[in-house]
Amino acid sequence: MKTDRKVSAVPASIDETLKLLSSGGYVADRALSTVVYLALKMGRPLFLEGEAGVGKTEVAKVLSATLGRRLLRLQCYEGLDIASALYEWNYAAQMIAIRIAESEGIDRERLTSDIFSERFLVRRPLLEALSPDPAGAPVLLVDELDRADEAFEAFLLEVLADFQVTIPELGTVKALVPPIVIVTSNRTREVHDALKRRCLYHWIDYPTFARELAIVTAKVPDSAEKLSRDIVGFVQQLRKEDLFKAPGTAETLDWASALVVLDAKALEPSLISDTLGVVLKYQDDVVRFDQPKLEQMLRDSRAALKAVE
Amino acid sequence: MSARTHAPERGHFPDHIAEFARVLRRAGMPVGPGAVVDAVKAVEAAGIERRTDFYWALHAVLVKRHEHDPIFNEAFRLFWRRRHGFEHIMDAMLPLAPEASKQRAAQRRVEEAMTPSAREPRELKRQEVQIDMSGTMSDLEVLQKKDFAQMSAEEISTARRHIETIVFADDEMRRRRLVANPRGHRIDMRRTLRASLRTGGAIIDLKRRAPGHKKPPIVALLDISGSMSEYSRVGLHFLHALTEARGSVSTFLFGTRLTNVTRALKTRDADEALASCAGTAQDWSGGTRIGIALHDFNKHWSRRVLSQGAIVLLITDGLERDATERLGFELDRLHRSCRRLIWLNPLLRYDAFEARAKGVLAMLPHVDEVRPMHNLASLGALAEALAHDRPSAHIDPKRWLSRAA
């Protein structure tokens, strides 16, 4: 097959997938590597669900960077329609073309075929993803699908089923090589089962201590080791609390960067209370932690760490 | 099917996976035959040298919901450890499946079919229009105003038939998706150009579009504690009718804990749906802990079901025994995350109702509307009121608060 070169760029085993992801700075666990590997191997879309800030979107970015593919991102929102997801015509240019045609007296048949040609087509992410690409099939990231409405979901289902779309004026566009599709959802509503059935499903959970520490070390290299351990230990402790919104990995990283900027070498209760807004995003959650409580939690998290080692 | 070269390691493997899928299905997970084919492919791709790889390969294909994780985990552990004693595994998974309650519902219907007197209400429902026209009007009127708590079993069942026929108002919410509309304010260039080319571009007839409308989702929280017992079953019936009518309805039951019964209520047959609800919730007619139930809802569900501008129906008498400070706090949070919060309180049946109970006082400041729900008439009024966004004076919670002050 003529696509051999591209297929070889895709990892050949789960171990290789794990290596590929970590070479892109993504510290994945074995479970995630397995699904990513399967999605690449079986050519199926990957549906990633999980709380906000656990690194769903990052998977697509890292895949595109490490595989050297183009990243096409479709951010979903309510009311997203075909015109902004698939294609749109360049109306202004078309109008001018019609005016010119009128003055030159071109006949109707020809005008129609001229007006609706590739020249006036504005390609949006979904159509781009189906078009051939010399670098190999692109990575299509459909981000936060739960924000789009059901109508768009149904349309996406159709696209993901056979990787082809029909433009009435132009004809059918079919992908020669199916794109690598990553769909993410924060679960602000349930995505329909029919769509999930087409995809491989994976729930990304909060990372374990060891993995989160590895993530912080990889992403915020300036953070002193003691500080990183303190931060991760404390965040892990925070997630055990009864919070309205538990902090994600993204918050941990933000916090680490913030503390590095503040030249911190280790966590202290006063420092935590000053910067808690970076980790907790709801006022109700923030006010629950007064100074003594923070001290207690910091002690607990350090004790828990000692116990593990 | 096809002669595949690397078949040797396959062996009985597909059979085992199919068997495993069957176990999951019996445990209540939706696993179709297509998923089995995918699972075999996935396992072939991932290899079976490592148990974790095998686990996650099957997981990626067979699990489509985070809630099913524990079921899958348990089934995997039992199934792939010991191949024999397989029927035993299925027995162990049984309590998760709504098998038992289904039987009961079916049984009841068989019984109803056998005895003519029990069959009558069914026919009543079918000829519902004729009944309204005939001389039974006064009976119906009496029934409309009668408190559910004072109805006989027979009247209750008639009332339930009437609930099934309630017509829900056509309430609509503006959405952001634009649809074709000749009186819209935005020009739809796509259709405009397409149409103008039909005339060769000589005439450009502007096509327009405007925001479309849809029914807002409804989230119902129904109290099933002892003090509500006369109303909770009727309420559940009402919610079943509502689910039938508009689709996007999520229903939660709470007494001492919160149970999501949305799926159970989606069953067409009302008896079956109610039976399966009864099987799911385990705290019927017990105590109430509204604050804790609301906390549970806010934490685990509010972000998942309230995101699309939902209307919340809170059906409870507000007789809370637990700390009321927490109740007020949680209700306030709920109020801030939904579009409209309607409190249906059966206690409003008493004309002399006064907001004295601590729980009621804590809840009143945080709701948009307080409505009665003790008879058919009040349920009918609610069905109509869903369409009107502006609350009128008699349902304004301030009325009760000022009376109490």
Asked if B175's CB is within 8 angstroms of A79's CB, the reply is: yes
Is the pLDDT assigned to residue B273 strictly greater than 60?
Answer: yes
Tell me the average pLDDT across B298-307. Answer: 87
Question: Which among B52, B53, B71 is the top mutation candidate for probing chain A, defined by the most A β-carbons within 10 Å of its own β-carbon?
Answer: B53
pLDDT of residue A2: 38
Tokens, residue A172: 């059918």
A151 CB neighbours in chain B (<8 A) are 177
What would the pLDDT profile of B345-358 be if each residue is shown by its tens digit? 888 877 667 777 78
- Chain B: give the shortest CA distance to residue A102, in Å: 8
Which of the 8 DSSP states describes residue A262?
T
A169 CB neighbours in chain B (<8 A) are 194
| B118 pLDDT tier (thresholds 50, 70, 90) | very low
**Phi then psi for B151, rounded to 5 degrees?**
-80, 150
- Chain B: give the shortest CA distance to residue A33, in Å: 9
- Chain A: give the shortest CA distance to residue B307, in Å: 6
What would the pLDDT profile of B235-258 be if each residue is shown by its tens digit? 888 898 888 888 789 999 988 888
CA distance B115 to B376: 27
Of residues A4 and A119, the one with the higher pLDDT is A119
Cα angle A183-A187-A189, degrees, rounded to a multiple of 5: 110
Asked if B178's CB is within 8 angstroms of A81's CB, the reply is: yes
The reply to whether B256 touches chain A by the CB within 8 Å rule is: no
| B322 pLDDT tier (thresholds 50, 70, 90) | low
CA distance B286 to B296: 18
The reply to whether B100 touches chain A by the CB within 8 Å rule is: no
The reply to whether B185 touches chain A by the CB within 8 Å rule is: no
**H or E element that contains A167:** strand A164-167
Tell me which range, A32-46, A103-117, B134-148, B157-171, is most confidently predicted by mean pLDDT: A32-46
CA distance B179 to B196: 19
What would the pLDDT profile of B80-117 be if each residue is shown by its tens digit? 875 544 444 444 444 443 443 444 444 444 444 344 34
Which residue of chain A is at minimal alpha-carbon distance from B301? A188
When mean pLDDT is compared across A145-154, A197-206, B87-96, the lowest value belongs to B87-96
CA distance A180 to A69: 9
Which residue of B193, B298, B308 is in closest CB contact with A244?
Answer: B298
Taken as a whole, chain A contains a residue count of: 309
What would the pLDDT profile of A226-266 be if each residue is shown by its tens digit? 999 999 999 999 999 888 889 999 999 999 999 999 999 88
Cα angle B204-B205-B207, degrees, rounded to a multiple of 5: 125
Nearest one of A169, A171, A153, A172 to A45, comparing CA atoms:
A153
Q: What is the ipTM of this complex?
A: 0.75
Asked if A91's CB is within 8 angstroms of B177's CB, the reply is: no
pLDDT of residue B119: 37
Nearest one of B371, B374, B365 to B388, comparing CA atoms:
B371
Question: Which among A200, A206, A240, A284 is the top mutation candidate for probing chain B, defined by the most B β-carbons within 10 Å of its own β-carbon?
Answer: A200
CA distance A174 to A166: 9
Is the pLDDT assigned to residue B42 strictly greater than 60?
Answer: yes
Which residue of B52, B194, B299 is in closest CB contact with A30?
Answer: B52
Is the pLDDT assigned to residue A274 strictly greater than 50?
Answer: yes
CA distance B134 to B153: 24
The reply to whether B189 touches chain A by the CB within 8 Å rule is: yes
Instruction: Tell me the three-class secondary structure of B212-279, residue by residue.
Output: EEECCCEEEEEECCHHHHHHHHHHHHHHHHHHHHHCCEEEEEECCCEEECHHHHCCCCHHHHHHHHHH
Instruction: Tell me the three-class secondary structure of chain B, residue by residue.
Output: CCCCCCCCCCCCHHHHHHHHHHHHHHCCCCCCHHHHHHHHHHHHHHCCCCHHHHHHHHHHHHCCCHHHHHHHHHHHHHHCCCCCCHHHHHHHHHHHCCHHHHHHHHHHHHHHHHCHHHHHHHHHHHCHHHHHHCCCHHHHHHHHHCCHHHCCHHHHHHHHHHHHCCCCCCCCEEEEEEEECCCCCEECHHHHHHHHHHCCCCCCCCCEEEEEEECCCEEEEEECCHHHHHHHHHHHHHHHHHHHHHCCEEEEEECCCEEECHHHHCCCCHHHHHHHHHHHCCCCCCCCCHHHHHHHHHHHCHHHHCCCCCEEEEECCCCCCCCHHHHHHHHHHHHHHCCEEEEECHHHHCCCCCCCCHHHHHHHHHCCEEECCCCHHHHHHHHHHCCCCCCCHHHCHHHHHHHHC
**Phi then psi for B250, rounded to 5 degrees?**
-110, 130
Asked if B177's CB is within 8 angstroms of A14's CB, the reply is: no
Q: How far is CA A287 from the centre of its chain?
A: 31
CA distance B76 to B57: 12
Asked if B196's CB is within 8 angstroms of A188's CB, the reply is: no
Asked if A201's CB is within 8 angstroms of B175's CB, the reply is: no
Asked if A284's CB is within 8 angstroms of B333's CB, the reply is: yes
Of residues A278 and B14, the one with the higher pLDDT is A278
Asked if A187's CB is within 8 angstroms of B304's CB, the reply is: yes
Asked if B299's CB is within 8 angstroms of A242's CB, the reply is: yes
Is the pLDDT assigned to residue B307 strictly greater than 50?
Answer: yes
Which residue of B53, B64, B304 is in closest CB contact with A34?
Answer: B53
Tell me the average pLDDT across A64-88. Answer: 91
B303 CB neighbours in chain A (<8 A) are 186-188
When the pLDDT of each residue in chain A is averaged and rounded to a whole number, the result is 89
Strand-pair category, B208-214 with B186-187? antiparallel
Kindly write down the DSSP assignment for every residue of A295-309, as one continuous string.
Answer: HHHHHHHHHHHHHH-
| B2 pLDDT tier (thresholds 50, 70, 90) | very low
Asked if B200's CB is within 8 angstroms of A115's CB, the reply is: no
pLDDT of residue B94: 43
The reply to whether B246 touches chain A by the CB within 8 Å rule is: no
pLDDT of residue B391: 56
- B111 by Cβ neighbours in 10 Å (0-12 / 13-18 / 19+) ranks as exposed
- Which sign, positive or negative, has the C-alpha torsion B324, B328, B333, B338? positive
Tell me the average pLDDT across A115-136. Answer: 90
CB proximity list for B80: less than 8 A, separation 6 or greater: B20, B54
Beta bridge partners of B340: B311
Percent of chain A with pLDDT over 90: 56
Asked if A35's CB is within 8 angstroms of B60's CB, the reply is: yes
When mean pLDDT is compared across B117-131, B267-281, B326-340, the lowest value belongs to B117-131
Asked if B202's CB is within 8 angstroms of A102's CB, the reply is: yes
What would the pLDDT profile of B194-228 be if each residue is shown by its tens digit? 887 777 666 778 889 998 888 888 999 998 888 88
The reply to whether B66 touches chain A by the CB within 8 Å rule is: yes
- Chain A: give the shortest CA distance to residue B102, in Å: 23
Asked if A102's CB is within 8 angstroms of B307's CB, the reply is: no
Is the pLDDT assigned to residue B130 strictly greater than 50?
Answer: no
The reply to whether B30 touches chain A by the CB within 8 Å rule is: yes
SS3 A123: strand
A vs B, Cβ pairs < 8 A, gives: 116
Q: Are A251 and A279 in contact (CB under 8 A)?
A: yes
| A135 pLDDT tier (thresholds 50, 70, 90) | confident
Determine the residue type at B237.
H
Nearest one of A213, A235, A211, A238 to A223, comparing CA atoms:
A213
